[in-house]
Chain A
Amino acid sequence: MSLEIIETCVNCYACEPLCPNQAIYKASPHFLIDPDKCTECIGDYMDAQCASICPIEGAIVDELGVELNPPGSLTGIEPALLAKYQAAVEATYREAVEAKVA
């Protein structure tokens, strides 16, 4: 039983000192959770500490891949609106890269 930090992590360090099991460690390209140490905070806290402070929706998942903080749950931004924004940002980025190549 363990939580996992995935690639959307922004390396903000917020979770690392909160872990009661010292299961979280800095790694590249992002922080990771040692699955042998993680207890999902059961017995220590009501809620998993890393997922309670993590500001990035979807960055922490359980063993089934279920997001502890699903889209919209932290920022209040509607997932559909966010998706539209992300698509626009990616398009701008692609254009910039293509312009550089050309």
Chain B
Amino acid sequence: MELPVLNSDQQQASGGGCSSHSCGSTDDQLGHLPEHIRAKVHNHPCYSEQAHHYFARMHVAVAPACNIQCHYCNRKYDCSNESRPGVVSEVLTPDQAVKKVMAVAANIPQMTVLGIAGPGDPLANPERTFATFRELSEKAPDIKLCVSTNGLALPESVEELSKHNIDHVTITINCVDPDVGAQIYPWVFWKNQRIKGRAGAEILIEQQQKGLEMLTERGILVKVNSVMIPGVNDEHLVEVSRVVKSKGAFLHNVMPLIAEPEHGTFYGLMGQPSPTHDELQKLQDACAGDMNMMRHCRQCRADAVGLLGEDRGLEFTMDKIEDMEIDYEAAMVKRAEVHAQIAQELEMKDQARAAKAELVTIQGMKDAAETRPVLMAVATKGGGVINEHFGHASEFLIYEASNRGVRFISHRKTIPYCEGGDTCGDGESALDKTIRELAGCEVVLCSKVGYEPWGPLEAAGIQPNGEHAMEAIEEAVAAVYEEMRVAGMLDEKPDAAQKAA
């Protein structure tokens, strides 16, 4: 059978087919890391803001069992339309998973990382998880292996984890206080008993902390994920950040709670609100004083395939893989070539960026008096430049400009205004939704913006700006900020129109 062959030249030229991501951003979550850790994570799409445009990852869903219940999770996990952690379409056996990884790694040579993240807890399925890792370390030694866990079974698994090609573990730690934990975890399964409430949360926290210490002692990198649940653990996560950093975690990823009634989760059905963009950013900033923060996480499904922000899982279902003929040796050679080319390209970009950063500081921000920070949204297809039409963007990158410089804050998803039709079902038009998603931003930079959205954007206090098409994002953001400063727009708070919107 003819394989769906990648047009590798085109892929590389376009930065791996990246559609609209945070290219060219400040990459600040890796900036403070010691060199030996940077070397380990530079080509890991989940850890490096820059790498995620170039390198791909996949998750294999071999771990359906779980040993705890979280209030944001529903264990009936088979909806193909949902994109969030803990959701998959098919659970694989270890053999099937290995086959899938080999097939994907042969077809997507940008692939560097294989993760096991569920849909349950990988370490609650030790035989299935480790059988997959064992076989992959043999058959595809160039692929990095990762595992993500709730931490309950971590201490007993550390020995086995350290035997494989695993140099990163992610632990989801939502609290270090059992009273907070009791509001997040209704039960844990521990030593042959289901333990409910605070007592269960206490055991979970103890095991998570113990596991974290054991891993860092062995030199295994630990990233900590936390789900921000307003009113439950939001303020507490600053303390979590401080504790996990003191125990050696190298990166903290604070993610927003995903809770909708249709997910059938406790939080979804109880109407627990998710954080707003503003609340999330404030908390990330509060934690950042203590910790390297990660801001580009896309909260992938447990069976995601491809670059971050895309999912090519449907190209690699088991029935399609059965029909593929793959030359593994040739695929590995190809991967090495592609990875080397990407590394070279990244190095050139790094040099160019360092030069640019200096320029931006000198031209835009020098001697500026204390001015208020401004959020700007950017429409981009990638490559670090403003190159997407307002109406075609399915995602906006949010940057913050202040007199200290320009930094990447987050990405916000939306429905492309030009494809959204008249309404999205509940009477809200695609444009309304985009404007709502851009709340807090005062400028939207894009390569082009039509006449129709112009008025509503201005009315919402968001200035459309198409004057910096094809310019580098950070320079353009700095230039617009400087224009605002000269125009006296930074002296006061954003105008009342935006607040009312």
A45 and B266 contact, CB distance less than 8 A: no
State whether A47 and B91 are in contact (beta carbons under 8 Å apart), knowing that A10-B76, A10-B77, A12-B75 are contacts in the complex: no
**Cα distance, A55 to B119, chains bound together (Å):** 13
B193 and A75 contact, CB distance less than 8 A: no
Q: Given the complex, which residues of A lie within 8 Å of B391, measured CB to CB?
A: none
Q: Given the complex, which residues of B lie within 8 Å of A92, measured CB to CB?
A: 262
Q: Does A49 contact B (CB under 8 A)?
A: yes
B264 and A12 contact, CB distance less than 8 A: no
* A32 CB to nearest chain B CB (Å): 17
B120 and A85 contact, CB distance less than 8 A: no
Q: Given the complex, which residues of A lie within 8 Å of B67, measured CB to CB?
A: 14, 53
A52 and B65 contact, CB distance less than 8 A: no
B contact residues, total (Cβ < 8 Å): 28
B75: nearest chain-A partner, CB-CB = A55
Mask, A61-102, CB within 8 Å of B = 1, is 000000000000011110001100100110010000000000
* A86 CB to nearest chain B CB (Å): 8
Q: Given the complex, which residues of B lie within 8 Å of A45, measured CB to CB?
A: 192
**Cα distance, A45 to B194, chains bound together (Å):** 12
Q: Given the complex, which residues of A lie within 8 Å of B71, measured CB to CB?
A: 75-76
The main secondary structure of chain A at its interface with chain B is: loop
Q: Does A39 contact B (CB under 8 A)?
A: no
* A78 CB to nearest chain B CB (Å): 8
Q: Given the complex, which residues of A lie within 8 Å of B66, measured CB to CB?
A: 12, 14, 55
A11 and B269 contact, CB distance less than 8 A: no
B69 and A11 contact, CB distance less than 8 A: no
B65 and A14 contact, CB distance less than 8 A: yes
A10 and B193 contact, CB distance less than 8 A: no
Mask, A9-27, CB within 8 Å of B = 1, is 0111110011000000000
Contacts A10-B64, A14-B65 aside, 10 further interface pairs with beta carbons under 8 A come to: A12-B120, A14-B124, A52-B194, A55-B69, A56-B75, A74-B69, A74-B187, A75-B71, A75-B266, A85-B269
Chain A residues in the interface with B (C-beta under 8 A):
10-14, 17-18, 45-47, 49, 52-53, 55-56, 74-77, 81-82, 85, 88-89, 92
Chain B residues in the interface with A (C-beta under 8 A):
64-67, 69, 71, 75-78, 91, 120, 124-125, 127-128, 186-187, 189, 192-194, 261-262, 264, 266, 269-270
